[in-house]
Structure 1
Amino acid sequence: MTSPLRLALILGSAREGRFCDVVAEWAQRRVVRHGGFEIDRIDPLDWPLSGRINRSDEAQLQQLRERLHAADGFLVITPEYNHGYPAALKALIDACYEPWRAKPVAFVSYGASSGGLRAIEQLRQVYGELHAVTLRDCVNLVHAWRQFGVDGELREPQAAHQAMTTTLARLSWWAWALRDARTAMPYEAAA
């Protein structure tokens, strides 16, 4: 029997009072509802990711690498800060190299008028360099802080729920396909 897909749900913000928690909780509930994934939630607040890596941090960073390596796919929850993605997310991505290879990456973004799309476009370039496969389908939440009620649910959820359903279906497809491909031939053996 094949084991379920392992999904790393990655929070992209480390700001105090961040809205990322609200969006990540919503996304996680949607993933659970979709089914088919074991979720490993990865938060930059849990790791020494200042941009300067000390030898004393290496053991903790190795744990991060192992968790990312175990993932079959990634769902990145990112805000858009000043037309880009947050430094904490960049530090998390740059702390590792190999665990991203030949794995799919999907995005849930939020921000002001663009809903975080500029952050996603920049992340596509970064993940491409890491040999990851980014999905075209995504969820972007324009003025997200206005869209969520105090209960953490969307006030008008139809469009976002449909976008998430499509994103998760495609993420699942790519995660299965690439897991099978990595099993048949390790990515490193391809070139």
Structure 2
Amino acid sequence: MRVAVIIGSTREGRIGDAVGRWFMERARERSELDLAVLDLADFDFPVHYPGRATGEMTEFTEEIARAEAFVVVTPEYNRSFPASLKQAIDFAYEEWQTKPVAFVSYGHGSAGLYAVEQLRSVFTELHTVTLRNGVALDFLQQPLEEDPSGPAGTRRDRSVRVMLDQLGWWGRALREARAVRPYVS
């Protein structure tokens, strides 16, 4: 199953790329997943939405269309998710439909869960299925670099496993459903 892992932060000095690498180390253990990283910092999106899609917008949208499932890696900024992520999400519409979306969130205190709750609303509008279980990293309680064999690392790894199990189930179920009948939007 082709899974697009979207790293949503583009801020200078961000840790989103480190969180994305941490997640990918664990996800690569799953042989059934064909993982593609879409780091929004690697795209040169326009500041204003143009009348015609740019090459970068088209490239991103094509990657969304190719994917059968998504993992969104998002920080929480002021109880929400980054504007860069919203902009990228809005470049596609039908390409998101009938596919599962999981979240790896991070922050200080709330572990990025306010951002996830807002993203659920956005992805519901796009006719996706958002997973209940995700991975939430609270850097006030446990730094990312903490010993992976310790209790925090074990809990985090279990969260990744559960989330990927559910993502695989939904990804296969929705793939089969799309093959049987077109989605009505």
Q: Is the TM-score greater than 0.5?
A: yes
Structure with the bigger percentage of helix? 1
Give the 3 Å change call, closer, same or farther, for CA 83–33 of structure 1 in structure 2: same
Cα deviation code 1:107-166 (max 9, x no counterpart): 000001110000000000000000010000000001169522299x68631111011100
**Paired residue for 1:19?**
15
In the alignment, residue 24 of structure 1 is paired with which amino acid? G
**Paired residue for 1:102?**
98
Query: Is 1:64 matched up with 2:64?
Result: no
Matched positions, count: 184
Aligned-pair identity in percent equals: 39
Contact 1:84 1:122 in 2 (8 A): yes
**Paired residue for 2:121?**
125
Query: Is 1:76 matched up with 2:63?
Result: no
**Paired residue for 1:43?**
39
Cα root mean square deviation, aligned: 2.0
Q: Of residues 164, 169, 172 in structure 1, which corresponds to 2:165?
A: 169
Give the 3 Å change call, closer, same or farther, for CA 144–58 of structure 1 in structure 2: farther
Q: Which runs of 5+ in 1 are unaligned?
A: none
**Paired residue for 1:184?**
180
**Paired residue for 1:93?**
89
In the alignment, residue 95 of structure 1 is paired with which amino acid? F
Give the 3 Å change call, closer, same or farther, for CA 35–81 of structure 1 in structure 2: same
Give the 3 Å change call, closer, same or farther, for CA 154–142 of structure 1 in structure 2: farther
TM-score with structure 1 setting the length: 0.89
Cα deviation code 1:51-78 (max 9, x no counterpart): 4133575222111111100000000000
Q: Which runs of 5+ in 2 are unaligned?
A: none
Contact 1:11 1:77 in 2 (8 A): yes
